[in-house]
Amino acid sequence: MTNIGIFNETKENIPDLEVLEPLLKYALDFEKVDNLEFNVIIINNEKIHEINKQYRGVDRPTDVISFALEDFKDITYENNYRVLGDIYISIDKVKEQAKEYGHSEKRELAFLAVHGLLHLLGYDHMKEDEEKIMFEKQEKILNGYGITKES
């Protein structure tokens, strides 16, 4: 059984949040993993700036930060149940980047959520070959679910 917590810690009504759980379950099916738990927390630029500075030493807001518990040790509970960690997404960056890239806020939110989930699953994009793999997976998941750059 998979448990995805989605928390809006802003004062904004974000109707596109409803797409996240089914999209992320689709992504997990795509990756052939289940029996896990993680959270997606929507915050503003101010809060993500604090987190970015405190945990990454970067003094500016960012769009998404993933805290993968399995980076430190394999956290597996009874029946191979895994606790992956948390994904923080800045709703302010969602809006800014949707305008910048010329697509919907729904597409940007979905992209950042899938990006964060892939990080929780161990993917990275620090090297060119890793980036190619991760970014291809993101596009396949989003397009397969029907969230294209035009949507």
pLDDT digits (tens, 9 = 90+) for 61-83: 999 999 998 765 555 566 677 88
Evaluate whether residue 136 is within a structural domain. Answer: yes
Domain residue limits at 24? 3-145
0.85 exceeded by the pTM? Answer: yes
Evaluate whether residue 10 is within a structural domain. Answer: yes
Evaluate whether residue 150 is within a structural domain. Answer: no
For residue 34, the one-letter residue type is D
Evaluate whether residue 72 is within a structural domain. Answer: yes
The DSSP H or E segment spanning 77 is: strand 76-77
CB within 8 A of 94, min separation 6: which ones?
Answer: 63, 105, 108, 109, 112
Is residue 51 scored above 70 in pLDDT?
yes
Give the number of domains in the chain.
1
List the CATH number of the domain containing 124.
3.40.390.30
Evaluate whether residue 117 is within a structural domain. Answer: yes
